[in-house]
């Protein structure tokens, strides 16, 4: 709706970044677009986009994918959008804005100009091939320069520098990071954390040079540039990216005579007003009480306060917490409050270091041990959310604060939604507390979607999604509202209920199940879930005609689809043990079909780049050589990793290879709510990394120790010690029961670690069920596992013997030719996607 000219004032927003766009949203939410004629000026040609996930631009996402809104959204609300039109001056006397295209009058003006990347004044820093990492255009320039480069250096080892290093790695450049400080991320981590972070990043193949000051950049001998450091050491590279921090884009304000900070930034008050009451400032250009906030969440809070000021409200900006939870180059880093402990006299500190798993955790607590003042995490952010709630809400710590950072501590308190006060921050991006969520529920929001719509919680970075759902479900149940846990609109049942129905009634097809207990035709949620349940119960081939329509792409073609439309081939190699003759077969197949070949983390060989129509021929050769499918494409048992154990190792106390092979052959083909990974270590030196698996087995002199419910991935978890010194038979019996109890009771796509976290009674309850047989289910769970084992067959072997099943393996229904859009290039002697 267009604003009415009779009552409208002219409001101009300079800057269309994340904070500027959020200000527009806040103004629309308050109906301000009906009272102001709003113009928005953006210097870039792109509409506001998500800078937080900027590195994903190199992973296939484009400007439209990263866009926060559309031009139609602005037009619909009568907002005039001026993209690619830089503001050059502010005429405060005439209250006009100046651009190359003209002059625009304003009654109120908001500066949301953000910041620019700081480039140290290094002689030679302006050479061709010396770039910055800030905007989409910057990333386009980096990508273009990388086409003729093999090496790249990032100047700056902070948050933005490591993001840039990740981008260069994604462009297949040999990458180095140069940092002036003695450690990486000096603002977030201490010396111990920085050293561990360095080790983890160097293990990824990124060279790290700290305590280095670049004196000048000159022509290189073998590369485009040579960087000369303060100690006369040199580093040659083809591409240099400066990402050494940011500076506020305050030149407009400075030239207009507004009050500025000593080191830059437009001075604002609590209402985001500058020294000119007609002008406001928000985001990284604004200086509040001597601080500039370089995170998006404080910028959003400023935008909210500024919108309220423009609408005559009294909401103020009261500062923001700079705690951060990050994943940089795949490495978790978390910093909460006074993480270094240097702002809290008398504070006590607890540290936990695991150099084998490369994890570091640190707590800073008050002198009486009752309040959390800060925390630092490197390598594992699993405890971040809990620690953040203790810090943000001033909750009293447990009697032993160290229990919060020690692995597998019995009785370590978990903060459920009931334990959080009304003031607890649930969503920092949009400043949403538990109290605000409760108010939304009391106002009539009776599901998660409605609460999101009313509060905007979890619509920013999304990091609070799990906590938000937990709070909403808890509050609805507390009000006597039945929380709908239906798997989807077609079944008014949970996954657990559907599993029980299938078992009790012996239902073996999706059609029969939906006819008796659901409605409609099914969807992409319920079909794969039911397919998994049917396979878990009866282990009939997923390639059978009744089951194929239920599978996702990977299961349909029994291979993982890659980003260029080809597929990967992963034969099973139980326990990582393989004969030379089978290795030769893999090499011959890889050469014959031009496949990219890689050793996986689970001790298998992955063959990438197979075209759809090639899969049957490849698998025919592999099966003839004695291989079978590795289920790398399915939510099923994947691998059982092992060390060499007592067979070869002088420290080994049990035959870890033999046990790993036995476990893999026993549980291969077991479909489950999520993928399953095992490992068996032959001694407590733990070379197979069993404590990071869903099922981990570690040899002792008296038998086997069993660990359960660990995982790697986006949110790594330690496995927990479940039982000790087990003989072979007892070990197998406990694993049978554990796996089938998980399959029976977990939600769809729920990993064992998350299932364990949500299990009422926790690990003790799980022990009671599996070890003590408290539910009297032990024999039944073992029989169910034996049914799965007895009905196992290699899915690829079954498909190859059925001409009807093979008809699926072609790119076009009416054409035998391969997909012409698959384009590859050669790299390091192998083919990869172009």
- Give the tens place of pLDDT for each residue, 122-131: 999 999 999 9
Q: Between these two residues, 548 and 681, which has the higher pLDDT value?
A: 681
Q: What is the pLDDT of residues 614-657, one digit of tens each?
A: 999 999 999 999 999 999 999 999 999 999 999 999 899 999 99
**Residue 474 burial class via C-beta count within 10 angstroms: exposed 0-12, middle 13-18, buried 19 and up:** middle
For 29, half-sphere exposure in the C-beta direction (CA atoms, 13 angstrom radius) is 14
Contact 266, 274 (CB under 8 A): yes
- Which of 547-561, 569-583, 678-692 shows the lowest per-residue confidence on average (mean pLDDT)? 547-561
Cα(246)–Cα(217) distance, integer angstroms: 21
In this predicted structure, what is the pLDDT of residue 812?
A: 61
Residue 830, pLDDT above cutoff 50: yes
pLDDT band at residue 776 using 50, 70 and 90 as cut-offs: very high
Contact 310, 280 (CB under 8 A): yes
Cα(430)–Cα(73) distance, integer angstroms: 20
pLDDT band at residue 815 using 50, 70 and 90 as cut-offs: low
Which residues partner with 514 through β-bridges?
none
Is 687 annotated for ligand binding?
yes
Cα(5)–Cα(36) distance, integer angstroms: 9
Q: 6: which DSSP letter?
A: T
The pTM of the full predicted model, rounded to 2 decimals, is 0.58
Q: Between these two residues, 227 and 474, which has the higher pLDDT value?
A: 227
Nearest CA among 32, 44, 42, 45 for reference residue 108: 32
In this predicted structure, what is the pLDDT of residue 423?
A: 79
Residue 714, pLDDT above cutoff 70: no
Is 643 annotated for ligand binding?
yes
pLDDT band at residue 6 using 50, 70 and 90 as cut-offs: very low
Long-range contacts of 215-218 (CB under 8 A, 24+ apart): 215/122, 215/123, 216/122, 216/123, 216/124, 217/122, 217/123, 217/124, 217/125, 217/127, 217/130, 218/124
Cα(563)–Cα(88) distance, integer angstroms: 43
Structural domains of the chain, with CATH: 9-116+248-310 (3.50.50.60), 119-244 (3.50.50.60), 495-551 (no CATH), 560-790 (3.30.413.10)
Helix axes 526-538, 495-505, angle to 10 degrees: 40
Q: What is the pLDDT of residues 446-474, one digit of tens each?
A: 877 788 888 888 776 555 766 787 788 88
Cα(400)–Cα(392) distance, integer angstroms: 19
In this predicted structure, what is the pLDDT of residue 303?
A: 95
Residue 158, pLDDT above cutoff 90: no
Cα(250)–Cα(35) distance, integer angstroms: 28
Q: What is the pLDDT of residues 400-432, one digit of tens each?
A: 898 888 875 444 455 667 777 887 878 876 778
In this predicted structure, what is the pLDDT of residue 713?
A: 67
Contact 179, 67 (CB under 8 A): no
Contact 421, 393 (CB under 8 A): yes
Is 427 annotated for ligand binding?
no
| List of E strands, 643-775 | 676-681, 695-700, 703-708, 720-726
Q: How far is CA 626 from the centre of its chain?
A: 38
Longest C-alpha distance within the chain, in Å? 89
Share of the chain above pLDDT 90, in %: 58
Q: How far is CA 633 from the centre of its chain?
A: 20
Number of H helices, E strands in the chain: 26, 38
Residue 93, pLDDT above cutoff 60: yes
Contact 588, 626 (CB under 8 A): no
In this predicted structure, what is the pLDDT of residue 411?
A: 40
Alpha-carbon distance values, 69 to 18, 38, 75, 316, 582 (Å): 10, 16, 11, 26, 54
Q: Between these two residues, 56 and 246, which has the higher pLDDT value?
A: 246
Q: What is the pLDDT of residues 564-613, one digit of tens each?
A: 788 999 999 999 999 999 999 999 999 999 999 999 888 999 999 998 89
In this predicted structure, what is the pLDDT of residue 811?
A: 67
Is 523 annotated for ligand binding?
no
How crowded is residue 43: how many other Cβ atoms within 10 Å of its Cβ? 19
Termini Cα distance of the chain: 47
pLDDT band at residue 231 using 50, 70 and 90 as cut-offs: confident
């Amino acid at each position: 709706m267009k604003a009415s000219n009779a009552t409208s004032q002219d409001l101009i927003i300079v800057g269309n970044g994340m904070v500027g766009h959020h200000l527009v949203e806040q103004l629309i939410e308050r109906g301000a677009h009906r009272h102001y004629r709003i113009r928005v000026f953006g210097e870039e040609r792109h509409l506001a986009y998500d800078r937080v996930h900027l590195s994903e631009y190199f992973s296939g996402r484009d400007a439209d994918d990263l866009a926060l809104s559309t031009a139609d959204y602005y037009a619909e609300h009568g907002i005039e959008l001026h993209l690619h039109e830089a503001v050059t001056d502010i005429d405060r006397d005439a209250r006009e804005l100046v651009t190359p295209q003209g002059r625009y009058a304003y009654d109120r003006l908001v500066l949301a100009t953000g910041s620019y990347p700081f480039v140290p004044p290094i002689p030679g820093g302006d050479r061709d091939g010396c770039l910055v990492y800030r905007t989409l255009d910057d990333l386009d320039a980096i990508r273009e320069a990388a086409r003729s480069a093999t090496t790249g250096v990032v100047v700056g080892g902070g948050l933005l520098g490591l993001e840039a290093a990740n981008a260069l790695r994604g462009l297949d450049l040999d990458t180095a990071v140069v940092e002036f400080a003695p450690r990486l991320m000096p603002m977030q981590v201490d010396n111990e954390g920085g050293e561990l972070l360095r080790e983890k990043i160097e293990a990824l193949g990124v060279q790290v040079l700290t305590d280095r000051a670049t004196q000048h950049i000159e022509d290189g001998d073998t590369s485009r540039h040579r960087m000369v450091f303060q100690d006369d050491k040199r580093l040659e590279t083809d591409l240099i990216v400066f990402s050494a921090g940011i500076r506020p884009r305050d030149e407009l304000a400075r030239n207009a005579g507004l009050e500025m900070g000593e080191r830059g930034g437009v001075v604002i008050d609590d209402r985001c007003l500058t020294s000119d009451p007609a002008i406001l400032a928000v985001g990284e250009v604004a200086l509040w009480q001597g601080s500039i906030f370089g995170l998006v969440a404080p910028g959003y809070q400023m935008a909210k306060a500024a919108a309220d000021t423009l609408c005559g409200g009294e909401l103020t900006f009261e500062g923001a917490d700079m705690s951060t939870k990050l994943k940089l180059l795949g490495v978790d880093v978390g910093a909460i409050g006074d993480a270094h402990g240097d702002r809290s006299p008398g504070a006590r500190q607890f540290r936990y270091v695991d150099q084998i798993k490369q994890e570091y955790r640190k707590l800073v607590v008050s002198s009486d041990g009752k309040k959390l003042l800060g925390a630092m995490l490197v390598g594992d952010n699993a405890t971040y959310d809990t620690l953040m709630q203790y810090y943000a809400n001033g909750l009293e710590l447990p009697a032993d604060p160290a229990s919060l950072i020690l692995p597998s501590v019995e009785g370590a308190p978990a903060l459920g939604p009931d334990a959080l006060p009304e003031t607890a921050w649930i969503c920092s991006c949009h400043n949403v507390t538990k109290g605000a969520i409760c108010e939304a529920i009391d106002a009539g929001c009776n599901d998660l979607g409605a609460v999101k719509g009313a509060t905007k919680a979890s619509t920013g970075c999304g990091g609070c999604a799990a906590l938000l759902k937990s709070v909403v479900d808890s509050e609805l149940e507390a009000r006597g509202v039945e929380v709908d846990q239906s798997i989807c609109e077609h079944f008014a049942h949970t996954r657990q209920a559907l599993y029980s129905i299938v078992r009790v009634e012996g239902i073996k097809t999706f059609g029969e199940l939906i006819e008796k207990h659901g409605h409609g035709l099914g969807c992409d949620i319920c079909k794969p879930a039911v397919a998994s349940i049917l396979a878990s119960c009866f282990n009939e081939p997923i390639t059978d005609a009744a089951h194929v329509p239920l599978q996702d792409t990977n299961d349909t073609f029994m291979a993982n689809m890659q980003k260029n439309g080809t597929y990967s081939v992963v034969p099973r190699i139980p326990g990582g043990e393989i004969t030379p003759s089978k290795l030769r077969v893999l090499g011959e197949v890889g050469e014959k079909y031009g496949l990219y070949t890689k050793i996986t983390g689970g001790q298998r060989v992955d063959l990438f780049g197979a075209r759809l129509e090639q899969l049957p021929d490849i698998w025919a050769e592999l099966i003839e050589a004695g291989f079978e499918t590795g289920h790398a494409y399915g939510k099923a048992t994947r691998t059982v990793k092992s060390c060499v154990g007592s067979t070869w190792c002088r420290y080994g106390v049990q035959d870890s290879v033999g046990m790993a092979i036995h476990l893999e052959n026993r549980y291969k083909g077991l479909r489950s709510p999520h993928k399953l990974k095992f490992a068996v270590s032959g001694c407590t030196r733990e070379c197979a990394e069993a404590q990071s698996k869903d099922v981990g087995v570690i040899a002792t002199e008296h038998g086997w120790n069993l660990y359960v419910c660990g995982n790697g991935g986006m949110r790594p978890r330690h496995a927990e010690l479940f039982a000790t010194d087990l003989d072979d038979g007892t070990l197998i019996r406990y694993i049978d029961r554990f796996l089938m109890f998980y399959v029976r009771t977990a939600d769809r796509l729920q990993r064992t670690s998350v299932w364990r976290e949500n299990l009422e009674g926790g690990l003790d309850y799980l022990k009671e069920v599996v070890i003590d047989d408290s539910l009297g289910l032990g024999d039944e769970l073992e029989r169910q596992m034996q049914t799965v084992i007895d009905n196992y067959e290699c899915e690829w072997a079954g498909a190859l013997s059925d001409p009807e099943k093979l008809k699926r393996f072609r790119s076009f229904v009416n054409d035998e030719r391969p997909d012409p859009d698959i384009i590859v290039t050669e790299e390091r002697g192998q083919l990869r996607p172009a």
